[in-house]
Amino acid sequence: MTATALDPFSLMLDFRSGALSPHTSRTERHLSDMKGSYYADEAALGQLVQSGDPLVYEVLQYDVPEEVGQLICCTTVLHPGTVGDEYFMTKGHFHSVRDTGEVYLGLSGHGYLLLMTEEGGRSASPMGPGTVAYVPPYWAHRTVNTGDEPFVFFAVYPGQAGHDYGTIEESGFAQRVLRTPEGPVLR
């Protein structure tokens, strides 16, 4: 036995708000945390940061030991908004341990799950309440809120996965999701 033995536990998840109780960590990402290659329109980003630096998303998590055998549960609340014509999004990451997958469950609101591999693979899946999306090992993942209300989803991933943000921060993602008069468009 290598994984820490834990007592069983259960959590309460509010499908509407994404509230996870109890949770042991809460991470906030404001627009000022997303300088770099995230949003294409740097001028729009600078203006929004100056005029209030909005909260883009928050992650509520129940922490367990970060080791093989454990599963980490969390919810993400991704707020509605745009930077220029680009919808609010998460930073996106590869798992540091590349051969670890993840499952996302859409709870409320609507968006996209963008996926890409280091070999040039790309994918974009619409997500809404009830969507179960499988993130296979080796695929970087980012979510985008294309609606007017918070896009909320639940996720479960392996304890040892870890998060590699640097690769995306430097090189960006394969696709962007833009707001147009005809609705969201992938570029």
According to CB under 6 A, which residues from 41 to 60 bind ligand PAN? Answer: 59
Based on the number of CB atoms within 10 Å of its own CB, is 46 exposed (0-12), middle (13-18) or buried (19 or more)? middle
**Among 74, 115, 152, 177, interactor with ligand PAN by CB under 6 A:** 74
- From 45-53, 63-71, 117-125, 155-163, give the range in contact with ligand PAN by CB under 6 A: 155-163
According to CB under 6 A, which residues from 123 to 142 bind ligand PAN? Answer: 141
Dihedral over Cα of 32, 38, 39, 42: its sign: positive
Instruction: Give the residue among 79, 29, 30 at the shortest CA–CA distance from 50.
Output: 30
**For ligand PAN, which is the closer residue by CB, 48 or 57?**
57
92 binds, among ligand PAN, Zn ion, none (CB under 5 to 8 A by kind): ligand PAN
Least distance in angstroms from the C-beta of 86 to ligand PAN: 16
Q: Per DSSP, what are the bridge partners of residue 108?
A: 152
152 interacts with ligand PAN by CB under 6 A: no
Q: Which two tokens stand for residue 127?
A: 């997500």
Q: What is the torsion angle, in degrees rounded to the nearest 10, for the CA atoms of residue 33, residue 34, residue 37 and residue 41?
A: -130
76 interacts with ligand PAN by CB under 6 A: yes
Span between the terminal Cα atoms of the chain, in Å: 47
- From 3-11, 79-87, 89-97, 106-114, give the range in contact with ligand PAN by CB under 6 A: 89-97
**Among 34, 56, 90, 159, interactor with ligand PAN by CB under 6 A:** 90
According to CB under 5 A, which residues from 90 to 109 bind Zn ion? Answer: 102
Q: How far apart are CA 143 and CA 97, in angstroms?
A: 20
SS3 call for 168: helix
Size of the site for ligand PAN (CB under 6 A): 13
**Among 23, 30, 79, 91, interactor with ligand PAN by CB under 6 A:** 91
Greatest alpha-carbon span in the chain:
56
In the complex, the residues that contact Zn ion under the rule CB under 5 A are 102
